[in-house]
Amino acid sequence: MISMPAFKTLALFGRYNTRQSHEAFTTLGGFLRDRGCEVLLDEDTAKSCELEGFTVANYAEIGARADLAVVLGGDGSMLNAARNLARSGVPLVGVNQGRLGFMTDIAADSMLEMIGRILDGDFAREERTLLSLNVRRDGATIFSTLALNDVVVNKGAVGRMIEFLVHINGEFVYDLRSDGLIVSTPTGSTAYALSSNGPILQPGVPGFALVPICPHTLSNRPITVSDNSVIEITLKRALDARLHYDGQLQGDLSEGTQVVVSRAPHTIQFVHPPGYSYFAMLREKLHWSEVL
């Protein structure tokens, strides 16, 4: 006798803006139906994979109906799904079909086994902090979004340093000339911030990392601040400055523009398969303790 699954309605997502084979989705969808689950398919995934026979839904419908989102892809796919589902509170689990996969815990060759064990109730939940990003010009907010990994102010194609003022909770911190600045969550500390010599923050740490990119003054080091902080970045010299969030280009920044970053009121919840360990994941992905 098959027991009732821990999650009854599951939504499937594919790699963001990429064509994928429909084989994995067909296999997983059939497995979930055999377990008595209702299966929803993200509309963009349905188009890119040319899938039929699934109930196709947009983010609003998935947010209202799904108990769990299963993302088949890499970290970029997880970031995209997380931003769009944050306000609805739908938890996510990832099947790694990308490269590193810091957020996609399940190996492709063990997908059915691990999803089955999650449906049996053998899983762990973990809450991750989101960033709230607001761009202001002349006192008015001109852009707002959420980010799970990071917010990045950096130079564009011209290649010249940019200059900006940084305030935290209204207090002046520094006037920085550099290639840019990364404001990272603990989740994003293993992404762009890590390649810029930022610290790795355990997911439960209530802080944000501020990581300068190639600062002109070498004493400008990465710092970690409370996640209750409001971080204001004001462009002072911005010949060719740009703004990114979670690797997505928002656009160009002009002098005087303020980029304001704070903790979002929403969080995202990850579902981890049995046996998941954050430090084991770091050892594997970063090749720690490797015998040379």
pLDDT at 17: 58
CB 2 within 8 A of CB 32: no
| Token representation of residue 91 | 């938890």
CB 251 within 8 A of CB 243: yes
State yes or no: is 138 an active-site residue: no
- How far is Cα 26 from Cα 53, in angstroms, rounded to an integer? 9
pLDDT at 48: 80
CATH assignment of 130-265, among 3.40.720.10, 3.10.150.10, 2.60.200.30, 3.40.50.300: 2.60.200.30
pLDDT at 2: 56
pLDDT at 1: 46
Q: Which segments of the chain belong to CATH 3.40.50.10330?
A: 9-123+273-286
Question: 44-48, 63-67, 260-264: lowest mean pLDDT where?
Answer: 44-48
CATH number of 9-123+273-286: 3.40.50.10330
Percent of the chain whose pLDDT exceeds 90: 81
Question: 147-161, 183-197, 253-267: lowest mean pLDDT where?
Answer: 147-161
In this model, does residue 153 exceed pLDDT 90?
yes
Q: What contacts 190, CB < 8 A, 6 or more positions away?
A: 102, 200, 282, 285
Q: What DSSP assignment string belongs to 167-218?
A: EETTEEEEEEEESEEEEE-TGGGGTHHHHTTPPP--TT--EEEEEEES-SST
pLDDT at 289: 83
Question: 13-22, 149-158, 164-173: lowest mean pLDDT where?
Answer: 13-22
In this model, does residue 201 exceed pLDDT 90?
yes
- How far is Cα 231 from Cα 262, in angstroms, rounded to an integer? 6
Q: Which of 34, 67, 75, 150 is catalytic?
A: 75
Helix (H) or strand (E) holding 129: strand 124-137
For residue 240, what is the DSSP state?
A: T
The overall average pLDDT reported for the chain is: 92
Q: Which segments of the chain belong to CATH 2.60.200.30?
A: 130-265
How many beta carbons lie within 10 A of that of residue 26, not counting itself? Answer: 15
pLDDT digits (tens, 9 = 90+) for 141-152: 999 999 999 999
